[in-house]
Chain A
Amino acid sequence: MNRILKSRTLKTTAIAAAVIGVVGVAQARDQIRIVGSSTVYPFASYVTEEFGAVTNYPTPVIESTGSGGGLRLFCNGVGDNTPDITNASRRIKVSELERCIENGVTDVTEVKIGSDGIVLAQSSTNEAIELTLEQLFMAVAAKVPVDGELVDNPYTNWSEIDASLPDREISIYGPPSTSGTRDAFEELAMEVPSEEMEAFGGEGYTEVRSDGAYIDAGENDNLIVQRLSEDTGAFGIFGYSFLEENPDALIGTAIDGVAPEPEAISAGDYPIARSLWFYVKNQHVDAVPPLYDYVDMFVSETMIGKGGYLSDLGLIPLTEAEREATRNKVEERTSLQLSDLQ
């Protein structure tokens, strides 16, 4: 009995030692650590898997933390317990880069990898409709201008916004406020048209209505897709790849006369499109030898090019000139300056 007790004590001590042992270990590592946007996540994890399979390095660790969360972790400083790369579905903000520099992260390369469109889709049992950006704004904003004055959104039916629209109740499933898709939607589909409206005095307005016509549907875009096939009167807002994956169940909505097609999104004609990026911490190059091998693989033509593997997953390729520019930046490891963002 005594011996058993002793071995148990030993075990406990060993665990305690193991716990203490891992604290503060810092050394060169082969495993790249990536955080960031859930929109870029499917593309980046495809590349990490490929990287792990065809090189002798371990598969990079990739976590989906959202663009803002990823940039916060990324800018926490330089060192083993900070990520090497962060993905973002929007460009880094000036305030974020300032925080990076404050914490010693001074050498960051910005890599633009492609575009993603945000679509307004509905069940394919309906007729496709066309909206202007302004009409879309009228459907989702909390306050809208009526006869030059700002009032709480009175529209409950699409046909009230414009007589040409169908006589259907406004009901839109969309991403919650924590999501990068929502950020981009607010910026591109609300801020942009509201700046043109006199009632807002040139200021962008991004408040989404909360009277039940816009429904927060959670981070999982699959859920929105499923709900649309049950609630056929409703619309859903999500990334283009989900529209592409469900061609039988869903139809997209043309905005300002442009349908959500890859060419239109890539060329910038489709109004609710955004670019996807990732940011590389160049100060980790020595500590993490495979860092730029991974980046090179990501920006290669077989990945982000036209007909590349990532376009099968729904990434919309950049134009050829832009892809070339991206590769040049990677080659020269161009350091991002505050002045580039202003």
Chain B
Amino acid sequence: MSHSFDDISAQLKKRHRQSSRLKWISMGALGLAGLFLVLFFADMLSKGLPAFQQAQIQVQIDYNEDAQRMGRAALDPEVSRLVSRTFERLIPVRMRDNPELLGTTETRWVLADSEVDQYLKGHRHTLSESQQATVDALVEQDRAELKFNTTFFASGDSKMPEAAGILAAALGTVMTMLVTLSIAFPVGVMTALYLEEFAPDNRLTQLIEININNLAAIPSILFGLLGLAIFINFFGVPRSSPLVGGMTLALMTLPVIIIATRTALRSVPDSIRHAAFGVGCSRWQVVRDHVLPLAMPGIMTGSIIGLAQAMGETAPLIIVGMVAFIPDIGVSFTNAATVLPAQVFTWAGEPDQAFVEKTAGGILVLLAILIFLNATAVMLRRKFERRW
């Protein structure tokens, strides 16, 4: 059957309409995704940015006899209620350690109570009328103001919102990731090397391959249960430690690294291998001196992305006890620690409203680190990738 010219042009019009409709639908999808992203960022920034500022008050500290027992006695009673307890409770400790302080006075800026902070930021607070007047007067005299919140970046968790910081969690993340990387990277790369370059292609290796691909898709909480059963209950690795957290996350990251490494190895053209074999290299020499260096950028990219994924993970770490309250700054593989996403999780459950901005602030820091890591992965790929 032959088509007339009209039939064909009508068909063409229809097909063009279809393709332009598809184009608009996909653009709409992209726009929607972009809109969600913008809304998310706007919400996080508007809630989180205030966390980077904190109210401080200038007070006169009078190291008298009463202050040896009750820190509050060292301060003017009018402002003592406005000063953070994290500062007050340390006055007796400081006087015990430095007896010569007794009888001296000192003027300095100290952390204000979170209610003062919330009041100055215009959020809900519980200050009484007279306390508000005192704060207003202090602001007038330049003795109270919002300053950059170094505490947030330089201290661990606290029950008092004004003193809560993310450093302990950030260090915990670093230690955990060190463990994860030092286990998952060598084991993952070596496994991929064996499967790709040495292993024969038989039923067994096919089975292993299918299993590795499956492992990459398993819900992460199962790795937490595995970590609890094997590392903690069987091997007795200390609970809540970066060691057990890192080992658990290494299990989760392994398949990602193996798959990325295999893809990178496969993209190295066979002509390189043939040439090396041709001049008499052994299989190991070919892999070590030629294939591996060429595949390295791909391997690094895959590993960084795997690491970034592990870094944002909370579920398996809850199971191995890494959602702990850690006010001390410490660097250790075996002591209890927490990680950034777990810290965010903890703050999100606090009843005190001042923790809302801490939660959003913590999310901003975590996002910044993840964006940095992913950008590094992209840069590495751009810089070193070779097309054949």
Contacts and interface: CB of A to CB of B under 8 A. Distances in A.
Interface of A: 1, 5, 8, 11-12, 15, 18-19, 22-24, 31, 33, 41-42, 45-46, 48-50, 52-54, 58-59, 61-64, 81, 219-222, 241-242, 245-246, 248, 309, 313-314
B323 A53 contact: no
A222 B238 contact: no
B159 A222 contact: no
B236 A61 contact: no
A41 B352 CA distance: 14
6 contacts: A22-B236, A62-B324, A63-B239, A63-B324, A63-B325, A248-B124
A222 B349 contact: yes
Contact of B353 (A1, A49, A63, A245): A245
A242 B328 contact: no
Given A23-B236, A52-B328, A18 B351 contact: no
Interface of B: 85-86, 89-90, 92-93, 124, 158-160, 182-183, 186, 235-240, 243, 247, 288-289, 321, 323-328, 330, 333-336, 348-353
Contacts of B124: 248
Nearest to A73: B239
Contact of B85 (A19, A22, A24, A309): A309
A58 B328 CA distance: 8
B321 A54 contact: no
B32 to A, nearest CB: 23
Given A23-B236, A45-B159, A54-B92, A222 B351 contact: yes
A52 B326 CA distance: 10
Contacts of A31: 335-336
Contacts of B336: 31, 33, 61
Contacts of B325: 41, 45, 48-49, 59, 61-63
Contacts of B236: 22-24, 81
Nearest to B231: A19
Given A1-B288, A242-B351, A53 B243 contact: no
B319 to A, nearest CB: 11
A313 B160 CA distance: 10
B324 to A, nearest CB: 5
B299 to A, nearest CB: 14
Contacts of B92: 54
B324 A81 contact: no
A8 to B, nearest CB: 7
A330 to B, nearest CB: 21
Contacts of B90: 53-54
Contacts of A248: 124
Contact of A22 (B93, B159, B243, B323): B243
Contacts of B334: 22
Nearest to A22: B334
A236 to B, nearest CB: 13
A85 to B, nearest CB: 14
Contacts of A8: 186
A277 B243 CA distance: 32
B159 A81 contact: no
B327 A59 contact: yes
A7 B238 CA distance: 28
Contacts of B239: 63, 81
Contact of B323 (A11, A54, A64): A64
Contacts of B183: 15
Given A48-B325, A241-B351, 17 more contacts: A15-B182, A18-B243, A19-B237, A22-B236, A22-B238, A42-B351, A49-B160, A53-B89, A53-B93, A59-B326, A61-B326, A62-B324, A63-B239, A63-B325, A64-B323, A220-B349, A221-B349
A217 to B, nearest CB: 13
B159 A313 contact: yes
A245 B356 CA distance: 13
Nearest to B124: A248
Determine which residue in A22, A48, A49, A246 has the highest number of CB atoms from chain B within 10 A of its CB, and name it.
Answer: A49
Determine which residue in B160, B237, B323, B327 has the highest number of CB atoms from chain A within 10 A of its CB, and name it.
Answer: B327
A22 B335 contact: no
B186 A12 contact: yes
A245 B351 contact: yes
B347 to A, nearest CB: 10
Contact of B240 (A11, A22, A24, A61): A61
A159 to B, nearest CB: 32
Nearest to B337: A61
A31 B335 CA distance: 9
Contacts of A61: 240, 324-326, 336
Nearest to B355: A222
B328 A59 contact: yes
B159 A49 contact: yes
Contacts of B235: 19, 23
B337 to A, nearest CB: 9
A183 to B, nearest CB: 18
Contacts of A12: 186
Nearest to B349: A220
B364 to A, nearest CB: 19
Determine which residue in A31, A64, A248, A314 has the highest number of CB atoms from chain B within 10 A of its CB, and name it.
Answer: A64
B170 to A, nearest CB: 17
Contact of A42 (B159, B243, B288): B159
A46 B159 contact: yes
A86 B335 CA distance: 19
B238 A81 contact: yes
